[in-house]
Amino acid sequence: MTKVDRRILKSQEAIKTALITLMGEKHLDDITIQDISDRANVNRGTIYLHYLDKYDLLDKLIGEHMDRLRELCESSCRLEWTEATLVFCEYFDTQYSFFSLMLASKGAPYFRNRFLDFLIEEFRCELDVTRGKNLGIKEEVLVRFTASAYVGVVEWWFMNEKPFSYRELAEQLGALLERNL
Amino acid sequence: MTKVDRRILKSQEAIKTALITLMGEKHLDDITIQDISDRANVNRGTIYLHYLDKYDLLDKLIGEHMDRLRELCESSCRLEWTEATLVFCEYFDTQYSFFSLMLASKGAPYFRNRFLDFLIEEFRCELDVTRGKNLGIKEEVLVRFTASAYVGVVEWWFMNEKPFSYRELAEQLGALLERNL
DNA sequence: TAGAGTTTGTTCATTACTGAACGAAACCGG
DNA sequence: CCGGTTTCGTTCAGTAATGAACAAACTCTA
């Protein structure tokens, strides 16, 4: 990873936080590129230097969060699901405003799918259907089943404004994962 | 006032706030240009593009506050001293962290003098020693007398961490000014 | 649906900022 | 007092961001 010009990092950072705060105020469709550049205090053209359009911007923004979750996953892949889930839920908690915004906003389905795909990918490489409790169950089915369940619970947790701590969430989810994977 | 490139404004803003926060942590003499550029997330050379050195930077920073006070003065020059002082003290209050930092830090004497000079200048053009209560008193003396008194009280107010509200400060100062100018 | 006004996406020349490098000055521990 | 290290102030070629302009697409509303 070669060193990136700080101007690029600063511009992108400003643009991304501008989009996030704007999404807290109105729907993505009602946000113009001008709105974003104004809020980011950046020339309108600068946005096009880094992103195709606002959807690409949101896409990359979500992608970065998924990447960070993936990193967390890799750095704790030796752990059991219970502990790995704790690491995840801790991240959810620290990024609460972002995730709840993503799940609550109009763009929710898009984010949901990105998150689902991410989990499917992660679960797949940690799985073994050739023995044990899952003998006879198709990998594709098991993975989809579990990932959907996972997303559903996380989504519910955010939509209900953290009805309990992220530690409890992790405990419950962890137990259910152990049972199924 | 022609429109300034936003890059200039952003750089200068970052550099100035970097200096202010650093001055809250250590003495100006212990702050290096590198410290400032790191904190501002700006190339070291960029600082030299705008300022001669850290003293010039502080100088310009103080100057801007004096300019703002001068503007306040002009936009309310029709007012009596009591009301004009209220406008001043309100500004002191909103910029509390900056002013108390300036008066508390090692560079205090320098700031004090800038503030004193500013007041002397302002008082001088509002003054009339050819009649009334000040007949016979030299302008130079009266102006210096009053400005020093003013600075002394403001300094005391900041050093003692706002022993009372800025409104009270303005009332008291205003009354004393009316008596002397 | 016509037409006025936005928003978009792109181009262009200019400007500010960048990282890297450098010698010179200042600082500091032995 | 010396030699090593830090900080300074400056140069440089390269790059990112800028404001202005433009035609095209889109969105109102009359």
What are the structure tokens assigned to A10, written together? 């600063």
Cα–Cα distance measured from residue A81 to residue B43, given in angstroms and rounded to the nearest whole number: 45
Is the predicted pLDDT of residue A1 greater than 70, yes or no?
no
Cα–Cα distance measured from residue A129 to residue A57, given in angstroms and rounded to the nearest whole number: 38
A 23-42 residues, CB < 7 A, strand D: 41-42
The superfamily in CATH containing domain B1-51 is Homeodomain-like (1.10.10.60)
To the nearest whole number, what is the mean pLDDT of chain B? 91
Residues of chain A with CATH 1.10.10.60: 1-51
CB contact under 8 A, B43 and A10: no
The predicted-structure confidence for A88-139, as pLDDT tens digits, reads as follows 999 999 999 899 988 877 667 888 999 999 999 988 887 777 777 888 889 9
Query: How confident is residue B76, by pLDDT bands cut at 50, 70 and 90?
Result: confident
- Chain A residues 41-70 with a CB less than 8 Å from chain B: 41-43
Asked whether A36 and A54 are in contact (CB, 8 A), the reply is: yes
Asked whether A167 and A83 are in contact (CB, 8 A), the reply is: no
Average pLDDT over residues B58-66: 95
- Token pair 């190339």 is found at B43
Residues of chain A with CATH 1.10.357.10: 62-180
Is the predicted pLDDT of residue B106 greater than 70, yes or no?
no
B 6-45 residues, CB < 7 A, strand D: 6-7, 10, 32-34, 44-45
The pLDDT score that the predictor gives to residue B29 is 92
Q: At what angle do helices B54-75 and B81-94 cross, to 10 degrees?
A: 140
Q: At what angle do helices B54-75 and B33-40 cross, to 10 degrees?
A: 60
- Pairwise pLDDT comparison (A131 vs B134), residue with the higher score: B134
Query: How confident is residue A165, by pLDDT bands cut at 50, 70 and 90?
Result: very high
The pLDDT score that the predictor gives to residue B107 is 65
The pLDDT score that the predictor gives to residue B80 is 73
What 3-state class would DSSP assign to B49? Answer: helix
Q: How far is residue B31 CA from its own chain's centroid?
A: 22
Cα–Cα distance measured from residue A89 to residue A131, given in angstroms and rounded to the nearest whole number: 29
The pLDDT score that the predictor gives to residue A84 is 84
The pLDDT score that the predictor gives to residue B49 is 98
**Strand C reaches within 7 A of the A161 CB:** no
What are the structure tokens assigned to A101, written together? 């915004």
CA-nearest residue to B10 within chain A is: A41
Query: How confident is residue B18, by pLDDT bands cut at 50, 70 and 90?
Result: very high
CA-nearest residue to A43 within chain B is: B6
Check if A6 contacts B (Cβ < 8 Å): yes
The superfamily in CATH containing domain A62-180 is Tetracycline Repressor, domain 2 (1.10.357.10)
Nearest to B41 among A10, A41, A42 (CB): A10
The predicted-structure confidence for A27-80, as pLDDT tens digits, reads as follows 999 999 999 999 999 999 999 999 999 999 999 999 999 999 998 888 876 677
Cα–Cα distance measured from residue B80 to residue B85, given in angstroms and rounded to the nearest whole number: 9
